[in-house]
Amino acid sequence: MPAAMLCAAVLIAFHIVVHRDAGGWVARGNLRDTSVLEGHLVEWEWHHVGEAVALLEAHGQAPAHISSQNVYRLAAAYLTALARPPGGSVYDAALVATAITWLGAAWALYTLAWLATGSRAAAFAGAVLAGGGAGYTAFVGNVDAHQFGYAAAALWLAALERLQAFGRSGTDPHGPHRPWLRAAAIGLWLCAAGYAMEIGYPLLAIALAFYGGRALLQYGHAYRAGKGAAAWRELYRTVLQLAVMVVAFAIPYFGYRFLAERVLFQSVVAFNDPATYIRGQVVAVQRDGFPLWLWQRWESVADHWLGAFPLPVTLLAVLGVVVLPWRWRLWALTVVAGMVAAAALTKPLVRDFYLAHPGVYVLAAAGVGALGSWAARIGTVMIGGTPAVRDVLKASAVVVALGAVLAVTNADLWGNYWLPAFWWAHQ
């Protein structure tokens, strides 16, 4: 892990140096979308986070009416306020908070790739893919909620796997109550992630679909094998643990919304509200018919996919689908399908499709690890050599694969602004 995290930290520092202000993607992709904050070029929507920071720091009187984006995308403002000294720079505080959460996302992808493959090369690739990811690069140097939403999704999914909250046996060596406490902790963490961006419901649906569906499949296999009683106990336990997670998520999540809409403010004005977009999709189905509507949703994914996940990443992810064990293949595809469907049904923009990056990057990291292993084997067969030679061949293949990814996401440094323009103009 130290080498992977060090490499990710170097990449993040590199992006902070070169991809801000005039070198940032928003300036290179759509200069008209910028404004100036404390002498820095940022996306014009910085004021949403800025107003929320002022609200949290109790600067002035609270407004009677507030945008839902200000009050419900709260994690960016909260972390910025924590990082900001009294009277200090909002921009600098947001940059520090971005760097810390971005490094956390690199750890999350390292952890997920390691758990999925058991390969150090793949885990290294996961950290590097996050450290050089298109979404994080697009928003570095911006006072915005998106980079915090990306990191929140990755960290929550990693915590879910790392804590092994669901389907644990009653003979847990840490005590019989630990699984329930873990499920409750995961639910509370999901609430926090849900207030980074509007990702609470998609993440909840992903967890219920994957862990609940897997428990049902395992029960079906055990029942057919004549072990129905034991399998039923495990299924019952998993369902209850999922219910604990849902309750632990729902109480603070809806409690805060009730407080905001009924106590703190006279009204919360919907802005970028998923429920509004969903109602629009229902109207579109009724107007256009389901086949045409479904084709349009598919087109929205196809039109934006390569902006979020450029061709080298996508090809590595396809390879990952082939080489990953079935359990992790299903996990990654569930994450991708859940996040892509959520974006397609609400705001089909490249920045929202990027929320699927934990699943895509785990697949791509597995693809990188597989390329490294194949290179070592083929090289050994062709030229022979010691284990040190095999390690060199494996490392070389990993470096080439990751280099291809980083070359695309940093192509603006040699004048190719296609990707920044895709993110900030085409969107």
- Rounded Cα gap, residues 200 and 193, in angstroms: 6
3-state helix, strand, coil in the chain (%, to 5): 80, 5, 20
Decide if 279 is inside a domain: no
d(CA 182, CA 376): 40
**Closest alpha carbon to 98 in 135, 66, 141:** 141
Residue 335 falls inside a structural domain: yes
| Rounded to 5°, angle at Cα 185 from 179 and 187 | 105
Calculate the CA dihedral of residues 84, 87, 91, 95 and round it to 10 degrees: -20
CA–CA separation, 265 and 347 (whole Å): 26
Strands 40-43 and 267-269: unpaired
36 phi/psi in degrees, rounded to 5: -110, 125
C-alpha distance from residue 173 to each of 164, 168, 169, 176 (Å) = 13, 10, 9, 8
Q: Is residue 286 part of a domain?
A: no
* Greatest Cα-to-Cα distance within the chain, rounded to the nearest angstrom: 74
Domain annotation covers residue 45: yes
Give the per-residue pLDDT at 99.
95
Asked whether 177 and 125 are in contact (CB, 8 A), the reply is no
Residue 280 lies in a domain: no
Instruction: Give residue 39's domain range.
Output: 2-270+305-426
- Please give the pLDDT value at position 227: 66
Q: Which of 65, 61, 98 is nearest to 269 (CA)?
A: 65
Spatial CA neighbour of 362 closest among 151, 123, 166: 123
Residue 298 lies in a domain: no
Work out how many domains the chain is built from and give that number.
Answer: 1
Domain assignment present for 85 = yes
Is residue 296 one of the residues assigned to a domain? no
Query: Two tokens at 270?
Result: 């919907």
- Integer Cα distance of 109 and 103 in angstroms: 10
Give the pLDDT of the chain (427 residues) as one tens digit per residue: 688 999 999 999 999 999 999 899 998 988 888 899 888 999 888 888 888 888 888 777 778 888 888 888 888 999 999 998 887 899 999 999 999 999 999 999 999 999 999 999 999 999 999 999 999 999 999 999 999 999 999 999 999 998 887 754 434 444 445 778 888 999 999 999 999 999 999 999 999 999 988 878 776 766 666 666 667 777 888 888 899 999 999 999 999 999 988 888 888 888 878 888 888 889 989 898 889 989 999 999 999 999 999 999 999 999 999 999 999 999 999 999 999 999 999 989 999 999 999 999 999 999 999 998 888 788 777 776 677 777 788 888 899 999 999 999 999 999 899 999 999 877 6
